[in-house]
Amino acid sequence: MPVLDMLTTELRDVNAALHTAARGQANEAYVIENPRGAHAIAVGLDGPVSVTVKGSTGYYCAGMNKTATVHVQGSVGPGVAENMMSGEVIVDGDASQYAGATGHGGLLNIRGNASSRCGISMKGIDIVVHGSIGHMSAFMAQKGNLVVLGDAGEALGDSLYEARLFVRGTVKSLGADCVEKAMRPEHTALLADLLKRAGADARPEEFRRYGSARQLYHFNIDNADQY
Amino acid sequence: MDKTPATEPRQSWTFSREVNAEIRRAAATGIYDIRGGGAKRRVPHFDDLLFLGASISRYPLEGYREKCETGVTLGTRYAKNPIELKIPVTIAGMSFGSLSGPAKEALGRGATMAGTSTTTGDGGMTEEERGHSEKLVYQYLPSRYGMNPDDLRRADAIEVVVGQGAKPGGGGMLLGQKITERVAGMRDLPVGIDQRSACRHPDWTGPDDLEIKILELREITGWEKPIYVKIGGARPYYDTALAVKAGADVVVLDGMQGGTAATQDVFIEHVGQPTLACIRPAVKALQDLGMHREVQLVVSGGIRSGADMAKALALGADAVSIGTAALIALGDNDPRYEAEYNALGTTAGAYDDWHEGRDPAGITTQDPELMKRLDPEAAGRRLRNFLNVMTLECQTIARACGKSHVHNLEPEDLCALTMEAAAMAQVPLAGTDWWPGKAQF
């Protein structure tokens, strides 16, 4: 298994090696040692490659990931897996702000907690957070699923579009146009699949579902107080 | 018998017919006025500057015979593959969604024939524009609608949009009439909703974060592509300096006359600075950092002619960018549709309800029937012609000032017709050697 040690290898060379491996379609497995909180590790991967990061990272780890699997054995800084298209990103520790921001697809599996604005503007990504999430999470979330085994902070799902939010614990407050919705059988099945994929120890029946009331989809001056 | 002389009805300057009409409209509808385009109010502009031309102290170049170069290279600071343009005027970012597919194709065709670049907008990259644009700049916007790494890699440059001259501090707006199935699909939104784009990026705030974001974009694209940072005309000195500090290859500076697809009229007319007021502070920031000509400056917002281009270059820009003028070249607001403009309650030249999607010229619309009115090949040729004329005009002026490259134009070639323009451009008031703020000793 090739090892890229960031004590001796520059970020540019690390990412170039991973890009080459991804393009090679050989499904190789790489290890990154001594990340020391570096930014933009394993970004823009575009093919089947598996990367294990032994330690914590800075901003935008696995940004714009496509197809690849990135496993961080530590915590991550802001914007992990931002704009991810497909593949899987696993974080053993906690995630800072904007985890999974604008992601279009794939699974972001955070085994710790996630800070504020988790899933902001998400566009199809699935995010499972085993711990709790901070305020303004799923702000303007458009598509995809956010699953939280712990609690959610203030203003969950503010100005939500069609993303689905599932929370097992408490929700401090809901944002504008976000409401609790009934868990229908299709939601239970979807949630069961997500929990299984994320290896989460929880049952779908324990969760509540939240979604858009769709009252802000067309501008109406009578809604001005909500903005 | 003579009548007693009557007092003439006198309209108030403060409460003019226009102002009163807007008060009545607001009272009736309960919503602010939304429109497209840029500031319509009169602000100090390039018209308030003149070139001095050659004289005994400097000699001109022979028109049509002696060479006057126009080429410009953008992105020389870090990018492995800078963009080389034949002419120093580019097509500004305009979205598919606000514009029709044929209009985007026409922009690509015209720009490519003239040897310059065009730019995507909010909503992603379409095949029409990628296929017809030899050089395409991919905008990286707060909404990230349609943003994906494949398009990032097939772009020729990346433009991180921080602000826009029409609405510094504001996000995008595309109302339901234009959110067709195709537009909605590209933006991952429900069909027909009123779409508001975010005003700031979802995963960074401030210049330190921007530096890391730019690093990420460079790592994703192998440090090949120039990275532009677009700013609205708010605080041009500091915004330019911070963009440079964050690692920009190119700064795109958009003044308040720069257009938008749609936003509140109050935003367009009351937020941001005129283009003329922004250039010198931005150039000074580059000079103070030792980065003038190292980081290129592209100026937009009300550029309409080769004279405007020449004046912007003389003040220190490396290139200019056009949006509204390009749309007019395609056929926007053409008087031949006057009857239809009248039916919409407006007149050719004043039509700005682009958000309603009923553009008689078939440009700012997603209506399949209206879109057919624009022939992208013919419109592309018109744009090429216009770009060529702009370039010839700029060369004409540059030769008259004795310059063998349009970039050799300089503030010393200019004078100002008004105190305001003299102060903003920092060139002498005509007939004097002084401008407001110039040290006397």
In this predicted model, what pLDDT tens digit does every residue of B367-405 receive, in sequence order?
999 999 999 999 999 999 999 999 999 999 999 999 999
Residues A101 and A210 in one domain: yes
**Domain-terminating residue out of A27, A46, A80:** A80
Q: How far is A17 from chain B (nearest CA, A)?
A: 11
Query: Is B188's CB within 8 Å of A44's CB?
Result: no
Residues A11 and A54 in one domain: yes
User: What confidence score (pLDDT) does residue B441 get?
Assistant: 53
Does the residue A226 lie in any domain? no
Residues A72 and A129 in one domain: no
Does the residue A224 lie in any domain? no
B208 close to A (CB below 8 A): no
Report how far apart, in Å, the C-alpha atoms of A96 and of each of A62, A76, A81, B336 are: 14, 6, 12, 57
Q: What is the bridge-based pairing of β-strands B296-300 and B227-232?
A: unpaired
pLDDT value at B20 more than 80: yes
Spell out the residues 6+ positions from residue A21 whose beta carbon is closer than 8 angstroms to its own.
A2, A28, A30, A47, A49
- How many CB atoms lie under 10 A from the CB of residue B358? 16
Does the residue B213 lie in any domain? no
Query: Is A217's CB within 8 Å of B202's CB?
Result: no
Residues of chain B contacting residue A124, judged by C-beta atoms under 8 Å apart: 188
| B29, B30, B189 member nearest A142 (Cβ) | B189
Residues A130 and A192 in one domain: yes
Give residue B386's domain range. Answer: 44-208+224-234+248-425
Q: How confident is the model over B215-237, as pLDDT tens digits?
A: 999 999 999 999 999 999 999 99
Query: Is A40's CB within 8 Å of B219's CB?
Result: yes
User: What confidence score (pLDDT) does residue A90 get?
Assistant: 98
Helix (H, G, I), strand (E, B) or coil at B371: helix
User: What confidence score (pLDDT) does residue B63 get?
Assistant: 86
**Given its phi and psi angles, is residue B272 left (phi above 0), alpha (psi -120 to 50 degrees) or beta?**
left
Q: How confident is the model over B102-119, as pLDDT tens digits?
A: 999 999 999 999 999 999
Does the residue B372 lie in any domain? yes
E-strand stretches of B192-260: 195-196, 227-232, 250-254
Chain A interface test: which of B31, B145, B211, B220 (most A C-beta within 10 Å): B220
Domains held by chain B: number: 1
User: What confidence score (pLDDT) does residue A219 get?
Assistant: 76
Does the residue A55 lie in any domain? yes
For B:109-148, CB contacts with A below 8 A are: 143-144, 147-148
The type of residue at B51 is F
Residues A42 and A139 in one domain: no
Chain B interface test: which of A84, A142, A216, A223 (most B C-beta within 10 Å): A142
Does the residue B239 lie in any domain? no
Domains held by chain A: number: 2
User: What confidence score (pLDDT) does residue B320 get?
Assistant: 98
Q: How far is B432 from chain A (nearest CA, A)?
A: 53
Does the residue B218 lie in any domain? no
- Angle at which helix B206-220 crosses helix A11-23, to 10 degrees, equals 40
Q: Two tokens at B159? A: 């433009």
Residues A135 and A204 in one domain: yes
Residues A99 and A67 in one domain: no
Q: How confident is the model over A96-155, as pLDDT tens digits?
A: 999 999 999 999 999 999 999 999 999 999 999 999 999 999 999 999 999 999 999 999
Q: What is the bridge-based pairing of β-strands B319-322 and B296-300?
A: parallel
Query: Is A60's CB within 8 Å of B213's CB?
Result: yes
Q: How far is A81 from chain B (nearest CA, A)?
A: 11
Give residue A181's domain range. Answer: 94-215
B213 close to A (CB below 8 A): yes
Query: Is A44's CB within 8 Å of B190's CB?
Result: no
Does the residue A87 lie in any domain? no
B212 close to A (CB below 8 A): yes
Does the residue B33 lie in any domain? no
ipTM above 0.90, yes or no: yes
Which regions in chain A score pLDDT beneath 50?
none
For A:182-201, CB contacts with B below 8 A are: none
Banded pLDDT at B187 (limits 50, 70, 90) = confident
Chain A / chain B CB contacts < 8 angstroms: 97
Does the residue A99 lie in any domain? yes
Is pLDDT larger for residue A29 or for residue B65? A29
Residue among A75, A68, A76 at smallest CA distance from A101: A76
Banded pLDDT at B197 (limits 50, 70, 90) = confident
Alpha carbon distance B72, B166 (integer Å): 26
Chain A interface test: which of B219, B223, B264 (most A C-beta within 10 Å): B219
Does the residue B420 lie in any domain? yes
Q: How confident is the model over B344-355, as pLDDT tens digits?
A: 999 999 999 998
Does the residue A223 lie in any domain? no
Does the residue A60 lie in any domain? yes
pLDDT value at B440 more than 70: no
**Residue B232 near residue B167 (C-beta atoms within 8 A):** yes
pLDDT value at B173 more than 90: no
Alpha carbon distance B326, B163 (integer Å): 20
Alpha carbon distance A174, A138 (integer Å): 11
pLDDT value at B175 more than 80: no
- How many CB atoms lie under 10 A from the CB of residue A64? 28
Residues A51 and A108 in one domain: no
Does the residue A181 lie in any domain? yes
Banded pLDDT at B419 (limits 50, 70, 90) = very high
Residues of chain A contacting residue B202, judged by C-beta atoms under 8 Å apart: 98, 101-102, 117, 120-121, 139-140
Average pLDDT of B18-30? 94
A35 close to B (CB below 8 A): no
A98 close to B (CB below 8 A): yes
Residues A126 and A76 in one domain: no
Residues of chain B contacting residue A66, judged by C-beta atoms under 8 Å apart: 149-150
**Domain-terminating residue out of A56, A80, A104:** A80
Average pLDDT of B171-191? 82
User: What confidence score (pLDDT) does residue A227 get?
Assistant: 60
Average pLDDT of B417-439? 95
Alpha carbon distance B325, B330 (integer Å): 9
Residues of chain B contacting residue A121, judged by C-beta atoms under 8 Å apart: 143-144, 198, 202
Q: How many CA atoms lie within 13 A of B155 on its CB side?
A: 31
% of residues, chain A, pLDDT over 70: 98
pLDDT value at B1 more than 80: no
Residue among A142, A114, A116, A143 at smallest CA distance from A128: A114
Residues of chain A contacting residue B213, judged by C-beta atoms under 8 Å apart: 59-60
The type of residue at A215 is Q
Residues A15 and A66 in one domain: yes
Alpha carbon distance B317, B400 (integer Å): 19
- How many CB atoms lie under 10 A from the CB of residue B412? 12
Helix (H, G, I), strand (E, B) or coil at A155: coil
Residues of chain B contacting residue A97, judged by C-beta atoms under 8 Å apart: 203
Alpha carbon distance A82, A47 (integer Å): 17
Does the residue B392 lie in any domain? yes
Alpha carbon distance B420, B277 (integer Å): 9
Banded pLDDT at B147 (limits 50, 70, 90) = very high
pLDDT value at B178 more than 80: no
User: What confidence score (pLDDT) does residue A54 get?
Assistant: 98
Is pLDDT larger for residue B198 or for residue B52? B52
User: What confidence score (pLDDT) does residue B285 get?
Assistant: 98
CATH of the domain at B130: 3.20.20.70
At residue B97's C-alpha, the angle toward residues B198 and B330, to 5°, is: 125
Average pLDDT of B79-83? 98
A5 close to B (CB below 8 A): no
Q: How far is A201 from chain B (nearest CA, A)?
A: 30
Looking up tokens 């429900």, which residue turns up?
A: B190
Query: Is B202's CB within 8 Å of A117's CB?
Result: yes
User: What confidence score (pLDDT) does residue A225 get?
Assistant: 66
Residues A65 and A115 in one domain: no
| A85, A97, A120 member nearest B148 (Cβ) | A85
| A63, A161, A221 member nearest B31 (Cβ) | A221
Query: Is A219's CB within 8 Å of B149's CB?
Result: no
Residues of chain B contacting residue A218, judged by C-beta atoms under 8 Å apart: 176, 193-194
Residues of chain A contacting residue B219, judged by C-beta atoms under 8 Å apart: 11-12, 15, 40, 43-44
Residues A63 and A99 in one domain: no
